[in-house]
Amino acid sequence: MIPEIHQHEFQGLFGVAVAEINPPSGMYSRTWGYSEHDIADGLHRPLRASCLTISCLSEKANLTLLALDLMVWLSREDEEGIRIPLEKEFNLAPGTLITHLSHSHGAPFTDPLLADAPGGHFIEDYRKQILQTCRRLLSEAFDNRRMCVLSWGVGRCGLAFNRDLTLPETGEAVVGINPSIPADDTLLVGRITEQSGVYFANLVHYAAHPTSLGGMNRLISPDYVGAMRELVERDTNGVPCIFLHGADGELAPRKCYQASPEAADQNGRELGYAALSILASLMPSGKKMVFDRKVESGATLGLWKYEDELPESEIYIVAETVELELGDLPSVDAFKELVESKRGYEKERAQRGLALREKLGNSSTFDFPIYVWKLGKTVMVGAPIEFYNEFQIFLRRQFPENLILVLDICNGFLNYLPRKEEFERETYQVKTALFDPKSEEKVREKVVNLIKNIKKK
Tens-digit pLDDT profile for residues 299-343? 999 999 999 999 999 999 999 999 999 988 776 666 666 666 656
Angle, CA of 164, 398 and 180, to the nearest 5°: 20
Q: What percent of the chain has pLDDT over 90?
A: 86
Mean pLDDT, residues 95-115 taken together: 96
Tens-digit pLDDT profile for residues 185-241? 999 999 999 988 899 999 999 999 999 999 999 999 999 999 999 999 999 999 999
Model pTM?
0.95
Ramachandran bin of 306, using left for φ above 0, alpha for ψ from -120 to 50, beta for the remaining angles: beta
Residues 6+ apart with CB under 8 A from 387: 247, 249, 406, 408, 417
Whether the predicted pLDDT of 432 surpasses 90: no
pLDDT band at 455 (very low <50, low <70, confident <90, very high): confident
> Residues 206-215, buried b or exposed e (16+ Cβ, 10 A)?
bbbbbbbbbb
Distance separating alpha carbons of residues 39 and 219, to the nearest angstrom: 9
Q: What percent of the chain has pLDDT over 70?
A: 94
Tens-digit pLDDT profile for residues 375-395? 999 999 999 999 999 999 999
Backbone angles phi, psi at 368, to 5 degrees: -85, 120
Contact by Cβ (8 Å): 105, 32? yes
> Residues 160-173, buried b or exposed e (16+ Cβ, 10 A)?
bbbbbbbeeeeeeb
Please state, as a whole number, how many other Cβ atoms lie within 10 Å of the Cβ of residue 456: 5
